[in-house]
Amino acid sequence: MEILIYIIVIYELIINLFTFILYEVDKFKAKRDKYRVPEAELLFFAFIGGALGAFLGMKFFHHKTLKLKFKLVPVLLVVQAALAVYGLYIITRIQFKG
């Protein structure tokens, strides 16, 4: 069971760091009028676990904060945090029963 926790933590670290960097890259390209990262891709990475990275990228780089569909990112962050807490609760219950 411990290995599962490590895999999830590593996945979350990687996906959130990648998503944060993706927002930085898009902001960098926007300032230079270059080809941009599609909005669907930015939201996709937030959806698959990178909501914290997306939220921090939006705040830190002041990027996509006014777009209506990106108002979903804080909601995703709350849902993902709640799922993480619930998952840890379930895992600890299983470990202490067994």
Domain regions of the chain by residue span: 2-97
pLDDT tens for each residue of 17-49: 999 999 999 999 999 999 999 999 999 999 999
pTM: 0.89
CA distances from 83 to 69, 70, 77 (A): 22, 20, 10
Return the pLDDT at 98.
Answer: 58
Q: What are phi and psi of 48, to 5 degrees?
A: -85, 20
pLDDT tens for each residue of 64-90: 989 999 999 999 999 999 999 998 888
Measured N-to-C along each axis, helices 72-97 and 2-31 cross at an angle, to the nearest 10 degrees, of 170
